[in-house]
Structures are given as C-alpha cells and as structure tokens.
Structure 1
Amino acid sequence: MSLFAVACTGKTANNLTHQQNQSATSPSATPSECQTIQHNLGETQICGQPQKVVVLGPNLLELLLVLEVQPVGYADYFSFPYREFDQPDQQIPHLGERITSQPSNVGSLFEPSLEAIAKLKPDLILGIFEAHQNKYPLLSEIAPTLLLNYRPDQGWQQNLQVIANALKS
C-alpha cells in the first residue's frame, strides 16, 4: 500500500503498520504462536519463528550472528557493487568470517533497497531507529519490522534481548 493510500484511508501510519504486520505473518501460525515485540517505534506482532531475516546495519548483524542466525539480506554502511555477499569473509569487514550464508546485498545502511528486500520475502526486518524511522511504514509493508537504537548509551544488551525474543531464541 502506498503512502498515498495511507493518507486516503484516514488511518495513522502506526495503526496501518500494526494491521500490516498482522497480515505479514506466517499464514500457518495460530494466534497462540504470535507475540508482540516492543521496539523503538512501538510494537510489532510476530507470528511463528522467523527464518528469513534481513538486517540493516553491521551492529545489528553482529547481534544476529551472536544468536547464531544467518541473514538472508544485509545492508552495510556503504553500497557495494555486488548483488550477493558470496565471499562474506572478504566483503564484510570484521564479521564476514562468522557468516556461513551468502546474504543478498540490500543496499546501504541509509539507503536500503525496498525492492531488493521485498524480493527476499523476509519474515523479519531488523533496522536502526535513527536511520530507518522514516522508512518504517514501507519496511513494515514488506515484513514485520523492528527498529532498535544504535546509540551506545542505550545498551547493546537490550537490543540483543529484543532480537532474541523476536526470534524465540
């Protein structure tokens, strides 16, 4: 649904996003398998256990890898000329040696490609509040989206707990 359609419905972006997140969940999940996750832009409902995770930023990638989850898509600080990180140990500084998958390149941290993300059909998108709050309504149309703080004073431990809860890890 476009932002124009959002304006025409008279619904707020948060109300619409909540409804979209419910429809973006696994069709086989029952309501008892759904959970509401608190994050920096409110609440997001996630049903089932996400298997395909897109991560927008290296700090969130690090937390995902700590939980032993491999991303299907990744946005680094800068745009890179390749479609996939087929040699992550050489292409992703400091973290690549811990990546065993070949995540698709979904753009840069501040300019993620919504089209590339949508093609992956993710179950969950992890983004950074400070970088993605304006894109949240569009990201939420693709999949349930959690936006977390990047600031070190907010504590990486809290972000790790939110991600672990969302993944049921």
Structure 2
Amino acid sequence: MTVRPVLRGAALLAAAVLVTSCGSGDTDTSEAATAPTGSSGDFPVTVETAFGPVTVEEEPDRVVALGWSDAETALALGVQPVGASDWLGFGGYGVGPWAEGRYDEAPEIIETLEPSLEQIAALEPDLILDTRSDGTQERYDALSAIAPTIGPPEGVGPYQTTWQQQLDLVGQALGRADQAEELAADVEQQFAEARAEHPKFEGTEVAVGAYTSEGFGAYVRGDSRVDFMESLGFVNKPAIQELAGENFFIPVSEEQIALLDAPLTVIFPIFVDAAEITSNPLWQQLSSVQQGNALVLEDEELVNAFSSGSVLGIQYALENAVPLFAEALQP
C-alpha cells in the first residue's frame, strides 16, 4: 500500500541522522510573540533535569523553545514562544499544520543543531526550553548562561526525551503542570481507544523503516515512531530490536533486508522519491509487500506528524495514520 501526495525531505528527517540532515534557517523572522497570561501555576518552580534542578523564579513571559517539539509543546499549553527552532523544516511559524493558529505572531526562527547564542540573547528570554536535543553539557552551559534552561530529563540519550517527559518538563517550567497532566491523560486515552477499536494491533510485530540515498534502515525503541507504534499495541520486531545500539536508527544492508519483513511494515522516504522504494527489487521481495501488509507513507503532513514526537503531532497521527495501519493488516 502506498499513501501519496507530497514528498519533502526536510519533513522526513530521521532522528538518528539529525546531525547530517537536519537544520533550520535563520531567516523568515518577525516580531516575537509573548506568552499569554493566565497561568495557574505558583512560582518559583523547580524542575529536575539531567543537569540538576533548575529554578524558574517567575512566570515566564519570553520563552525560547529550542528542543525538538518544544515549541509545539509550549503552544499546546497555551504559551507562545518568542523564538523557536524548526527541526522538521516546516517553514513559516516553524510548527506543523496541527499547531496552526496557535501563534498570534510568528516566533524568530533559530538554528537547530548550532543555535546562535547572540540571536537567542537578543530575544531577552526568561526561559529556554531544550528538553529534546543532543543534551550535551556544552550546549546546556552555553544556553543556561543566557537564561534558566530546561534540558532533557535524567537518563535519556540524545533526542530520546519522550513526549510524556517533554510535556511534563515544559508544563512544570511554565507553571502549567496540571494542564500538562490533563493533556497527557487525553492522549493516553486516545491511544487506549485506538487499541480497543483495533484489537489486531495488540502483540503484532511491526518493522518501522526509512529509505535514503544510502539505502534502507530501521528504527528501534527510543525513537518516537516505534514508541508510537508500541503505544498502539504493536511490538517492534525483535530481530530489529536486538541490533539496537546507542542510536535508534540502524542501517539495513541488502543481505539484511528480511529484517523489514513483518506482519506490518511501515516505511517512508528521506530525501528520495518514494518510487525508489516501491520499484526496488529488495523491497518487492518482502513477504509483507507481496501480501499487502506493507505501507509506504508519502504524505508530507502525515509523515511529519508520525515523526514529530510532539503531543499535537501525535494526536494528528492517531487520527490519520491509525486507519492506514488497520487497512494494511486486513487479510
């Protein structure tokens, strides 16, 4: 099964190859937006992070959101960052269409992997969100010298902060912990409803992959796409999971192509045309392809949502991707 319309490489970034393929521009900026009032939180608040406790003395008024999906998470809680990084190359406001209309004014767009400290400082932030990034001490030290910085939680690898952890951290820092908890419960309920509606998902092995100019690859736990599938009841194929290392994307050689064979195979292209997947003899030889249990995702918005790991993107994917998974599992 192939789901069309549009393909843009910037929308299909694999977190495992962020360092080589991900980025956002420093252009298309405008006057910054400010956070709305009305937070019910009490300040100061102290947030536990991988770099120790961080205290936010007062309700933030000028938030800069640098980590993957940090801006969308703040927006989901009703706070508009004055600066943000556009990890998936959306352009414009730097967020997915599922967050459309949540900004009154566009934020200043800041580079992802190597953000300009001068640009950030010029925004005069009173809080920096960097909950899902490479999580290095060097990056944290540089940012925290500008303003209190909320880094990743303890015990996670680069870019491996889950949407639940991100929502919790951002909610605490913004004084909106109760709102964050309610939103998390809503999303968990949506997952539960999807599992109940599609009992075939439970325990079914899935292979989640991507295809680039370098060939095929597969994702393992810790990647938002696999975590999304397992939250639906699927189980990441054990043969793939056994190859997991520090990264959560593993290359799949021609000799290993059978790794992508599963009761459900989901794959999408990165910086290549989807036809390079569907016309590839290696792909065509997979039993899941021959039996109609393979899904090639091409729709730009859907793949972005599936890849975003943001609470808003996840809700979009639950609504739009789940029916496709169910269809691919039909006998």
TM-score exceeds 0.5: yes
Between 154-163 and 63-72, report the one with greater CA deviation.
Answer: 154-163
CA root-mean-square deviation: 2.5
User: Does structure 2 conserve the Cα–Cα contact (< 8 Å) formed by 1:110 and 1:132?
Assistant: no
The corresponding residue for 2:252 is: none
Change (3 A) 1:65 1:79: closer
Q: State the SS of the aligned residue for 2:110.
A: strand
Q: Encode CA deviations 1:140-166: one digit per residue, 9 max, x unaligned.
A: 010000112532xx5312221221111
**Would you say 1:162 and 2:169 are equivalent positions?**
yes
The number of aligned residues is 128
Partner Cα distance (2:134, 2:145) in 1: 17
Partner Cα distance (2:88, 2:168) in 1: 27
Partner Cα distance (1:127, 1:165) in 2: 14
What TM-score comes out, normalization by structure 1 length?
Answer: 0.65
The corresponding residue for 2:141 is: 137
What TM-score comes out, normalization by structure 2 length?
Answer: 0.35
**Would you say 1:43 and 2:50 are equivalent positions?**
no
Q: Greater relative contact order: 1 or 2 (C-alpha under 8 angstroms, separation 6 or more)?
A: 1
The corresponding residue for 1:77 is: 87
Instruction: Tell me the CA shift for residue 95 of structure 1.
Output: 5.0
User: Does structure 2 conserve the Cα–Cα contact (< 8 Å) formed by 1:126 and 1:146?
Assistant: yes
Instruction: Tell me the CA shift for residue 101 of structure 1.
Output: 2.2
Q: State the SS of the aligned residue for 1:136.
A: helix
* Counterpart among 124, 128, 133 of residue 125 in structure 1: 128
Paired letter, 1:127: D
Q: State the SS of the aligned residue for 2:130.
A: strand
Runs of 5+ consecutive residues of structure 1 not aligned to the other structure: 1-31
Q: Percent identity?
A: 37
Larger Rg: 2
Q: State the SS of the aligned residue for 2:109.
A: strand
Q: Encode CA deviations 1:82-103: one digit per residue, 9 max, x unaligned.
A: xxx7x42xx5443551333211
The corresponding residue for 2:313 is: none
Q: Encode CA deviations 1:112-162: one digit per residue, 9 max, x unaligned.
A: 1110000001010011454242211110010000112532xx531222122
Q: State the SS of the aligned residue for 2:150.
A: strand
Partner Cα distance (2:99, 2:43) in 1: 33
Q: Encode CA deviations 1:63-99: one digit per residue, 9 max, x unaligned.
A: 111101101001122789xxxx7x42xx544355133
The corresponding residue for 1:61 is: 71
Runs of 5+ consecutive residues of structure 2 not aligned to the other structure: 1-41, 177-331
